[in-house]
């Protein structure tokens, strides 16, 4: 598959441009395929989002042109938690179901592969917790375990911020991988 086709597909599913050129070979000792859900935790700049995007890219590269063109490809989504919540908030002004909060939640709850980036970066409130719970509960209930969640916080730290009900679901749907090291962004790396 041509790199231009891959980039077009990455853009269509929302993978940020800064990760398009990365490859699996840029990572050592971490998952080399996306066969389950993952919870990537660690300090800022340690490569959590980068690896999540590379794993999505590997799946996208494996989807045939025929499947992609004729709508039989796997569905992907990438969104930061703050952007997800902003999309829902904006959706209260939507005119069509897929623009309204219920439609937005359903979109992310039903797609096959979801990257939910930067959990814990949002300000907690009852409203925020309710919408995060609905999304993760629907994915869990419908066996949509192909999710990668990234956070600077551990599950224990998240539990204190967003509660046990949500973190229990994350724990049940994912394998936790801890990222260590220095902030690669400070050195100009991705």
CATH number of 3-18+36-180: 3.40.50.300
Vertex 8 angle, CA 6 and 13, to 5°: 95
- For 89-99, b/e burial (b = at least 16 CB within 10 A) is eebeebeeeee
Confidence of residue 13 (pLDDT cuts 50, 70, 90): confident
Please write the tens of the pLDDT for every residue from 95-132.
665 567 888 899 899 988 999 999 999 988 899 999 99
Q: How far apart are CA 122 and CA 41, in angstroms?
A: 16
Domain parsing of the chain, residue ranges = 3-18+36-180
Q: Is the pLDDT assigned to residue 150 strictly greater than 70?
A: yes
pTM equals 0.85
Q: Is the pLDDT assigned to residue 185 strictly greater than 60?
A: yes
State the pLDDT at residue 71: 53
Please write the tens of the pLDDT for every residue from 64-105.
554 544 455 567 889 999 999 998 888 777 666 556 788 889
């Amino acid at each position: 598959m041509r790199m231009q086709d891959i980039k077009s597909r990455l853009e269509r599913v929302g993978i940020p441009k800064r990760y398009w050129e990365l490859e699996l070979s840029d990572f050592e000792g971490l998952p080399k395929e996306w066969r389950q859900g993952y919870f990537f935790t660690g300090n800022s700049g340690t490569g959590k989002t980068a690896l999540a995007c590379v794993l999505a890219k590997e799946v996208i590269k494996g989807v045939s042109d025929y499947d992609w063109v004729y709508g039989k490809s796997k569905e992907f989504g990438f969104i930061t938690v703050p952007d997800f919540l902003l999309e829902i908030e904006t959706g209260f002004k939507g005119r069509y179901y897929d623009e309204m909060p219920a439609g937005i939640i359903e979109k992310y709850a039903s797609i096959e592969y979801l990257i939910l980036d930067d959990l814990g970066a949002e300000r907690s409130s009852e409203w925020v917790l309710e919408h995060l719970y609905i999304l993760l509960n629907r994915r869990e209930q419908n066996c949509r375990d192909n999710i990668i969640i990234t956070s600077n916080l551990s599950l224990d730290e998240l539990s204190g911020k967003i509660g046990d009900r949500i973190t229990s679901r994350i724990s049940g749907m994912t394998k936790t991988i801890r990222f260590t090291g220095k902030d690669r962004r400070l050195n100009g790396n991705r």
